[in-house]
Amino acid sequence: MGLRIKKGDTAVVMTGKNKGKKGRILSVNPAKERIVIEGINIVKKHTKPNKKYTQGGIIEKEAPVHISNVMLQCPKCNKPTRIGNAVLDDGRKLRTCKKCKEVID
């Protein structure tokens, strides 16, 4: 299944404990249908001291969220929207906003 959300897009969480929050997409995992959003779904991870974290301790980081729980925020109308496809005359596919019909990229 091809995901219509890309790294760098702005997403809005629609369900769960972070409902209504917005953030930039940091990474996309199409195989597991999960994405990591900046500042969303923060978890605490206990780590031992190593080269990266010399002191160790409790580290807060973003955990992945299932793709079905988020929607893309349209850069034109600033509303959460579904994504449509438009095919140009030369065969290129573009993502479009289902609400305002504008091209996203």
Regarding whether 101 and 60 lie in a shared domain, the answer is no
Regarding whether 27 and 3 lie in a shared domain, the answer is yes
Regarding whether 48 and 7 lie in a shared domain, the answer is yes
Regarding whether 84 and 38 lie in a shared domain, the answer is no
Dihedral sign for Cα 21, 27, 29, 32, please. Answer: negative
Domain assignment of residue 89, given as a range: 76-105
Domains in the chain, number: 2
Query: What's the pLDDT score for residue 18?
Result: 92
Regarding whether 86 and 60 lie in a shared domain, the answer is no
- Strand 65-66 with 83-87, pairing: unpaired
Question: Cα 16 to chain center, whole Å?
Answer: 15
The residue type found at 59 is I
- pLDDT per residue as tens, the chain (105 positions): 467 889 999 999 999 999 999 999 999 999 999 999 999 999 999 999 988 888 889 999 999 999 999 999 998 988 999 988 888 888 888 889 888 888 887
